[in-house]
Amino acid sequence: IDGEVNTLAGGPDKTGHRDGPAAQAGFDGPHGVSASPGGLIAVAGASSHTVRLLTPTDDGYEVTTIAGVVGKSGYNDGPADEALFNSPHAVVWEADGGVLVVDIGNARIRRIKDGMVTTVATAAEAGYAMPIDMLPAGDEGYLIADAGLQKALRWSPGEKAQVLAPDIPMAMPHGVSGDAGGNIFV
């Protein structure tokens, strides 16, 4: 916004998976990020199969792993430190402090809340193929960039996803965003 770029954590000389103060923390394939209203930052670790949290401190951020087993892919709901993900690509904060995770290798949308991981939706239930990115869309649920269907979708938990602009061809949409005017960018 002000033309400045700052590294909050990690860097080219800090590859791998290390928790701790941001200056020493390492990341392996960070993909999606989302900031909470309170300043917490969730990071989807696609290569490490984990979800990380950057918590503000007096001198920067502290990095912790909040879900997943480092370097172990798969599918398992349950306690966050035992849950398995397969290439999480996007994270979205919910109003109640939960974090939704787009787990592309399992074609599922998962939720981290109170130290537990649960599945919120599967491809068969929600009607998507391979969601890559997700964005809150106010009271209208979420916008999803679906690389499998090659479409942008609107989805609400417990409902089938609806294709936005079905006549507009897309090729591997990987990101979705919107503005205050109601425009959607894919």
Tokens of 180: 């205050």
The whole-angstrom separation of Cα 144 and Cα 154 is 6
Average confidence (pLDDT) over 63-74? 96
On the question of pLDDT at 1 being above 70, the answer is no
On the question of pLDDT at 165 being above 90, the answer is no
pLDDT of residue 64: 97
User: In terms of Cα–Cα distance, which of 34, 115, 132 is closest to 81?
Assistant: 115
Phi, psi of 63 (to 5 degrees): -105, 130
On the question of pLDDT at 160 being above 90, the answer is yes
pLDDT of residue 90: 96
Average confidence (pLDDT) over 91-108? 95
The percentage of the chain sitting over the pLDDT mark of 90, rounded to a whole number, equals: 76
The rounded mean pLDDT for the chain is 93
Residues 6+ apart with CB under 8 A from 104: 86, 87, 88, 89, 130, 131, 132, 147
Segment 100-121, tens digit of pLDDT: 999 999 999 999 999 999 999 9
